[in-house]
Amino acid sequence: MQNIVDYIASARDLSLEQLMKLMTADDIEGVKYLFQKAHETAQRVYGNKIFMRGLIEISNHCKNDCLYCGIRRSQQGISRYRLTKEEILECCQQGYGLGFRTFVLQGGEDGWFDDDRMCDIVATIHQQYPDCAITLSLGERSRESYQRLYDAGASRYLLRHETADAKHYAKLHPAEMSYSNRQRCLHDLKEIGYQVGCGFMVGSPFQTLDTLYQDLQLIRRLKPEMVGIGPFIPATGTPFADRPAGTVDATLRLLAIIRLLHPSVLLPATTALGTLYPQGRELGILAGANVVMPNLSPKSHRKEYSIYDNKLATGSEAAESAAEIRTSLHEMGAEAPADRGDYRMEEN
Ligand code: SAH
């Protein structure tokens, strides 16, 4: 196990067989070594800094019908909301006061947020908070749309690729969504000049070591500035409601492997990890994660952005707990500075 870890850390590559060993080994010392090496790698590139992003969930309306997602179009019995521009700006104001210098605007694919409305919101935030980064996570849009949003002041975009295996993709999504369009979006975003985040759920239905291997190869090829991974958690009312959740253990191993393959990546310890396990976020950091994204949405709407069951939006996942989050990071020897936390080209 230690040999494999040393190999992937130096070669920044791995074979399918090595991935299988890393994911299935029950050699506790070896797994500890994997986490430790990944944590050290993050520290080598970013020092002891952990970056905080304020997550604003702007709408749970969605025209898509992803089989895993609790806010999919055909989901019944949830109340749908969308924030107004004023509400979004209030979130930014609150977040700025709490020390956030990145705002992540995420939502379902809601046609109400067309380019004119979205560009107006982005431009206003950009003008009012010129020292902050604006990250968008609004799903698939046209290249022209991504370009307009970039010109309006957005500089980062999160769009998980979900799986790098086209057949697997088709089992997670309805026929009208396509693997190739998702990939097209990621490439357009890169070309336009965004810092781009791809990613996937750990333990999604039909995922295999083979599809995971392809996910890692995609990360090696695309070299995204950010990678978002978290365990799949079933959402009541969806076609995958009865599927088992992904595990904390597999998520931590994959965080560590991604850190070793791509040392300078910005890698969040996601809310889904914190939802599955109380100390999930801390464990994620000790396995190589270096970003946390607490929830900055208006409290009255947090429960409605229910992409999976029991999603945390309180305590360590709530932006108003920024001070407590900082304290618990300090206890781990880390600090969370009030800065944008941009991608750093790795110094070799
Ligand atoms: N509409 C945007 C944002 C989607 S929500 C987009 O298409 O990018 C962000 C991520 O949540 C998704 O990319 C998906 O990977 C994750 N997600 C959705 N349902 C989930 C579930 N049941 N369990 C865990 N993660 C889920």
Distance, in Å, from the CA atom of 28 to the CA atom of 270, rounded to the nearest integer, reads 24
Average pLDDT for residues 22-48, to the nearest whole number? 97
Show the DSSP H helices in 165-318 as ranges: 166-172, 179-192, 209-222, 248-261, 271-276, 280-286, 299-302
pLDDT tens across 303-327, in order? 999 999 999 888 878 888 888 899 9
Ligand 1 binding pocket, CB closer than 6 Å: 68-69, 106, 108-109, 137, 139, 159-160, 162, 201, 230, 232-233, 235, 272, 307-308
Name the closest-CA residue to atom 12, ligand 1.
Answer: 160
SS3 36: helix
Average pLDDT for residues 14-25, to the nearest whole number? 98
Is the confidence at residue 144, as pLDDT, over 80? yes
Average pLDDT for residues 125-151, to the nearest whole number? 98
Q: Mean of the per-residue pLDDT values for the chain?
A: 96
pLDDT of residue 145: 98
Compute φ and ψ for 231, nearest 5 degrees: -65, 145
Is the confidence at residue 348, as pLDDT, over 60? no
Is the confidence at residue 154, as pLDDT, over 90? yes
Contact (Cβ atoms closer than 8 angstroms) between residue 219 and residue 227: yes
Q: Which of 17-31, 129-143, 164-178, 311-325 has the lowest mean pLDDT?
A: 311-325
Atom of ligand 1 at shortest range from CA of 272: 24
- State the DSSP H helix or E strand holding residue 296, giving kind and residue range, or none if neither: none
pLDDT of residue 319: 81
Task: Report the separation in Å between the CA atom of 141 and the middle of ligand 1, taken as the mean of its atom positions.
Answer: 16
Atom of ligand 1 at shortest range from CA of 199: 15
Is the confidence at residue 182, as pLDDT, over 90? yes
DSSP 153-210: T--EEE---B-S-HHHHHHHS-TTS-HHHHHHHHHHHHHHT-EEEEEEEET-TT--HH
pLDDT of residue 347: 53
